[in-house]
Amino acid sequence: MQPLVAIGFWPRGYGLSSNPVSQPIVDMTVTAAQLKARIIALRNNKFFELFVIVVIIFSALIIGAKTYDINPGLLRVFSMLDLTVTLFFLVEIIVRLLAEKSLKAFFSKGWNIFDFIIVTASLIPVEESQMALLGRLLRIFRVLRLVSIIPELRVLLNAFLKSLPRMGYVSLLMFILFYIYAAVGSIFFGSINPVLWDNISVSMLTLFRVATFEDWTDVMYETMRVYPLSWIYYLSFIFMVAFIFLNMMIGIVLQVLQKEHEDFDREHGEGEAGEVHWIRTHFELMEHRIDRMDHMLVRLLDDRDGPGSHRKPEAD
């Protein structure tokens, strides 16, 4: 076996007196490092990311086209294209997996877990299988991979998810307002039109119609025949719901979105937040170096003139 090792892995420029045992290990290590570097370069390549985005959009178009009534021959072509896309996504997730330092580092990111689940679940056969419906549904969710690929979409989605707890309190206050107005409307307008104001649940649906401006004037004019001042009821409700509460929700989303953009710029060193973070980091580094130089200078002076003669007075 030893001659095979020497022939297969012997480095150039070495004679037979070289060590045939240790040198092949070095060559294999260098080859693995080069392969790792190439995989990382492929993952970070902008054209590769753009191609992945194009494939995701193409996959969504295939899924949409298969919902139409098409001839069997074209359907077989779409099935082959869908299989090709699935295999491409499998190769792409393997590239991203190998480009990470470890499996733990890959699965520590939530979007990587999402992509891994979607890609692996897409391997479920969609034809003549009990899991066919699940496989088709999961293929639809492959469109969401655009969010994991495009950073700007991730920022928008993270801002939306983080703003949900704050919007919950606004929604609770809005529900209380809906409930009060629905009770009032059911009491006063129930005899005018039971279809719209018979009970509190139906009245809340009617108020939702009013809040969305869906023929709300017809509802108002109907009650104004009996209660001429009922327009105050509708206008006050629209003013509070459509203007105040809606703007409160928009303000919450914009505030969280601004913070997410600042965090993204700080992480990637872009924009004003990235510049401020860069200046702060380098200022702290310079301050640390100055302190070290100051301590070294004090130590040198102490060695020359005696210990404690050049120490700074401590602050009170």
Residue 205 has pLDDT above 70, yes or no: yes
Q: From CA 172, how far away is CA 245, in angstroms rounded?
A: 11
pLDDT at 9 over 90: no
The fold adopted by the segment(s) 45-149 is Four Helix Bundle (Hemerythrin (Met), subunit A) (1.20.120)
- For 39-43, the CB contacts below 8 A with 24+ separation are 39/95, 39/98, 39/99, 40/99, 42/95, 42/99, 43/95, 43/96, 43/99
Compare 12 and 72 and report the one with higher pLDDT: 72
Domain covering 153-268, topology? Helix Hairpins (1.10.287)
Most confident of 11-15, 23-27, 284-288: 284-288
Q: What is the pLDDT of residue 257?
A: 86
Instruction: Name the residue ranges covered by the structural domains of the chain.
Output: 45-149, 153-268
Domains 45-149 and 153-268 share a fold: no
Cβ neighbours of 65 (radius 10 Å): 14
Which spans in the chain are helix H? 2-9, 22-44, 46-65, 72-99, 103-107, 110-121, 132-140, 145-149, 151-189, 194-197, 200-211, 216-224, 231-238, 246-268, 271-305
For the chain, give the mean pLDDT. Answer: 79
pLDDT of 138-188, one tens digit each?
777 888 888 878 888 888 888 888 888 888 888 899 999 999 999 999 999
Closest by CA to 302, choosing from 312, 293, 311, 314, is: 311
Q: State the pLDDT at residue 309.
A: 54
- Cα angle value 181/182/187 (rounded, 5°): 100
121-135, 202-216, 282-296, range with the lowest pLDDT:
121-135
pTM over 0.85, yes/no: no
